[in-house]
Structure 1
Amino acid sequence: MRTYGEGCPAAHALDLVGERWSLLIVRELLLGPKRFTDLRSGLHGASANVLSQRLRELESAGVVSKRRLPPPAASKVYELTEWGRELEGVIVLLLRWGARSAAIPLDAPMGADALILSMRSLFMPQSAQGFDAAFELWVGDRPFIAEVIDAQLILAPGRPEHPHAVIRTDAETLKRLTLGGRSLDVSLHAGRVTVQGDQAMAERFLGMFRLPEPAAASAGAV
C-alpha cells in the first residue's frame, strides 16, 4: 500500500481509504453486508482483481471485515466494521459536494445503493412540511422503506408495514424521477414504473429530491 509518509491524520486517512475504488466499496457496504458478486455489480468499472486487492487492504486496515453466513446460505459476505461505518458522514459530504459540480455525468450508470444514498443526501426537508407518509420502494428486486415523518426522511432496506403506495422501478428510472426531475406520468406511460396505492402521494414524494445549484466558477477562471 502506498503512503504519503506524513503524520497528519488526514494524510493517514487517505493512506487507508484513498486508493481508487476504496471509498466506493465503503459506499456499497453502508446499507448492509454484501457478497463479492454483489459488490462487483455495484462497482461497474472495477475488475475482480482490483476489487479483491482493495478488500484485502480495507480488511487489513480494520475498515472492512468478512464472515460466512450460516447454512443454508453459507456465503461469504463483506461488511463494514464499527469504525468503518463512521465513514458514512464522509460519503454523505462527498455526495453533496459532488452534486454541486456542473459536470456531473448523470447519464452514467448508478447502482441502487449509490442512488439510495444520494437520495438520502439530497432530500429537501422544506418540501415535506405537513407531509407524513410511508412508501414501499422497489429498485429492481430490492425493497426499501421510504418514510417521511416530521419533514425527516427514513430510507433504508426493508418493507414498511402499511405503505401509502408501493413504487416499483429500476435504478435508472428512479434516478430520472428524483435527481433528474422526470415526470411520474411520463414514466408510468412508458411502463418504466408502477405505483400501487396513492399515486398523488407517490408523485409528491418523488419530487422531494433535487440536485443543488452548481457551484460558481472559481474566481480565477477566465
Structure 2
Amino acid sequence: MSPRRSYDQYCSTARALDAVGDRWTLLIVRELLAGPRRYTDLHADLPGVSTDVLASRLKDMERDGLATRRRLPPPSAAFVYELTPRGRELLPVIQALGAWGGPALGERRPTDAVRAHWFALPLLASLEGEGLVEVHLDEGKFHLRLGAEDGPVYGEGAAPREPDARLSLDAGTCTALGRGDVTLDQAVRAGRVEVSGDGTLAKALRGD
C-alpha cells in the first residue's frame, strides 16, 4: 500500500483533505452511507471509476479509518465495505457539498449518468421527523431513515418494511427540495409531491 500523501500543513482543512481529498473518495462515502456494499455494487454505481482506482481508494479509506471490509455470513460469504463511525461523520459534509453544488446542476446533460438514490442525501436534509420514508421517482425508488443516529441513513430500492410514509415526485422537484428552492409543504400544496400513508410521520409531512 502506498504511503498517504499529505499537504503537510498544520491545518484541520488540510488534514481532512489528506483523507478525503482524492478524486472519488467522497463519492464512495456517498454510496456507503446507504450501508454495506459489495465491490461490484460500488463499481456499478460509480460510473467512470476504474477498477484500479476504486480498489486503491477503498484501501486508503480502510487505512485512514473511514471504512472497513468484512465477509458476510453464509450462504453469501461475499465481502462488503462499510463506513466506520468516523466515516459516517462525513454525512453533513456530503450534504453541505450537495447544497453548495445544487445550483450548478442545471439541465441534465446527455452524458450525465443518474441513479435514483443519488437524490437521497439532498432530500434527507430537507425533511424533518423520524421514521422510514419510501421515495418514488421516475428513475427508481429509494428509502430514507429520518432521524437515524447511526447505521445507514438511506438505501436503494423499496423500504425493507412498511414505510411510515411514501413520497411520489419527479427528479426536478426532488432537486428543488434539496436546494431549498421550495419547501415540502409548498411542494405538497402545489401538487408536486404526493404523500401517502396514515401514520404520524405521513400526516406531519403532508401538514395535516
TM value normalised by structure 2 = 0.67
Q: Is the 1:42–1:113 Cα contact (8 Å) retained in structure 2?
A: no
Provide the rounded CA distance (Å) in 1 between the counterparts of 2:114 and 2:96. Answer: 18
Q: Which runs of 4+ in 1 moved over 6 A?
A: none
TM-fit CA distance, 1:124: 6.7
| Equivalent pairs, count | 171
Q: Does 1:179 align with 2:175?
A: yes
Q: Is the 2:32–2:83 Cα contact (8 Å) retained in structure 1?
A: yes
Q: Which residue among 108, 117, 132 is the counterpart of 1:106?
A: 108
Provide the rounded CA distance (Å) in 1 between the counterparts of 2:87 and 2:38. Answer: 17
**Structure 1 residues 9 and 166 mapped into 2: Cα distance closer, same or farther (>3 Å)?**
closer
Provide the rounded CA distance (Å) in 2 between the counterparts of 1:57 and 1:19. Answer: 10
Q: Does 1:116 align with 2:115?
A: no
**Structure 1 residues 164 and 23 mapped into 2: Cα distance closer, same or farther (>3 Å)?**
closer
Provide the rounded CA distance (Å) in 2 between the counterparts of 1:143 and 1:4. Answer: 38
**Partner SS, residue 13 of structure 1:** helix
**Partner SS, residue 100 of structure 1:** helix
Q: Is the 1:42–1:111 Cα contact (8 Å) retained in structure 2?
A: yes
TM-fit CA distance, 1:75: 0.8
Larger Rg: 1
Which residue identity lines up with residue 51 of structure 1 in the other structure? L
Aligned to 2:49: 46
Q: Does 1:24 align with 2:27?
A: yes
**Structure 1 residues 201 and 62 mapped into 2: Cα distance closer, same or farther (>3 Å)?**
same
TM-fit CA distance, 1:31: 1.5
Structure 1 unmatched runs, 5+: 126-132, 148-154, 168-172, 182-199, 209-222
Provide the rounded CA distance (Å) in 2 between the counterparts of 1:67 and 1:41. Answer: 20
Provide the rounded CA distance (Å) in 2 between the counterparts of 1:58 and 1:204. Answer: 39
Show CA shifts across 1:117-138 (max 9, x none). Answer: 12223x377xxxxxxx986435
TM-fit CA distance, 1:73: 1.1
- For residues 1-20 of structure 1, the aligned pairs below 5 Å read 1-20=4-23
Show CA shifts across 1:164-200 (max 9, x none). Answer: 6686xxxxx942453279xxxxxxxxxxxxxxxxxx9
Provide the rounded CA distance (Å) in 1 between the counterparts of 2:176 and 2:144. Answer: 21
TM-fit CA distance, 1:16: 0.8
Percent identity, please: 36
Structure 2 unmatched runs, 5+: 147-152, 178-189, 197-204
RMSD between superposed Cα atoms in Å = 3.6
Provide the rounded CA distance (Å) in 1 between the counterparts of 2:19 and 2:120. Answer: 25
Which residue identity lines up with residue 12 of structure 2 in the other structure? P
**Partner SS, residue 26 of structure 2:** helix
Which residue identity lines up with residue 175 of structure 2 in the other structure? L
Aligned to 1:203: 193
Q: Could you tell which deviates more after superposition, 45-54 or 157-166?
A: 157-166
- For residues 140-219 of structure 1, the aligned pairs below 5 Å read 144=143, 156-157=154-155, 158-161=159-162, 174-176=170-172, 178-179=174-175, 203-205=193-195
